[in-house]
Amino acid sequence: MNVIGQPALVSVPGLYEAPAKPEQYYKRKQRTAMVSGDTPPRAVLEEQVEGDFLVEDDPRTVEAIKGYVLQAYHYLATGADFCANEGCRLANPHRQPGVIEAQLREPEFCDAHAERYEA
Ligand SMILES: [Zn+2]
């Protein structure tokens, strides 16, 4: 969903599409396909599946994107890429629940990055 460097790219659709959704989402999709021979519309799946993930036009989009913009800035400013701490906004999780954790839950940053960005 983002490519850091110069220039840096941050993709809004990538925020919904790139990180994997909760496992239950794919299971439900597969099960419905076996029963009805058809996959349910995405909106239905998104309503039925528990676990947090971002969908198109999610009201949390802007807040989540801020972290990805900051990652691009952070890379240019320090040369360091993603943070290994899962709860930090500079982390780069591969699954949607991780994105929610990193971008939308407290604390915003790990201790090291809090020092730099929470002033
Ligand atoms: Zn960090």
CB-based neighbours (< 5 A) of ligand 1, an ion: 83, 85, 88, 90, 110, 113
Tell me the mean pLDDT in the region 27-52: 82
The answer to whether 92 and 82 have CB atoms below 8 angstroms apart is yes
Query: Is this structure's pTM higher than 0.85?
Result: no
pLDDT at 76: 93
Look at the chain and count its residues: 119
Confidence label for 111 from pLDDT (cuts 50, 70 and 90): very high
Å from CA of 48 to ligand 1 middle: 33
Å from CA of 61 to ligand 1 middle: 21
Helix 61-78 to helix 96-104 angle (10° resolution) is: 80
pLDDT at 110: 97
81, 82, 96 from 18: Cα distances, Å: 18, 16, 9
